[in-house]
Amino acid sequence: MTEQMELIIFEIISTGGTAKGLAYEALAAAENGDFEEAEKLLKEADEALNQAHKVQTDIIQAEARGENTEVSVLFVHAQDHLMTAIEARNLIEKMIKMYKIIDTKLANLK
């Protein structure tokens, strides 16, 4: 594996991890009723995911051009890491929506 490929792999892992962390911070903000902060953090998570996705797309496009992409366990791990970050972000977005609904219904009971 080339050093450049290792850097690409670690960028995917890093930005995916950043996105997942931001999504969980958004969930914590929503749990505390700070929906504005939750939305801000989800947008930051999206920016990190977009960055990781661009790197991933560059690899796919290079392979489509005929450039050989070495698939290693580390590369597969990076792909798994990114996919779980995307899934966590999407699920957390739904959970935040549920918190908003619950918050609104509780406010109406008062």
Q: Which amino acid is at 101?
A: I
Catalytic position from the list 7, 28, 62, 77: 77
Give the residue among 64, 24, 66 at the shortest CA–CA distance from 42.
Answer: 24
34 labelled ligand-binding: no
Q: Is 77 a catalytic residue?
A: yes
- Bind-site residues for Mg(2+): 80
Q: Which residues are catalytic?
A: 77
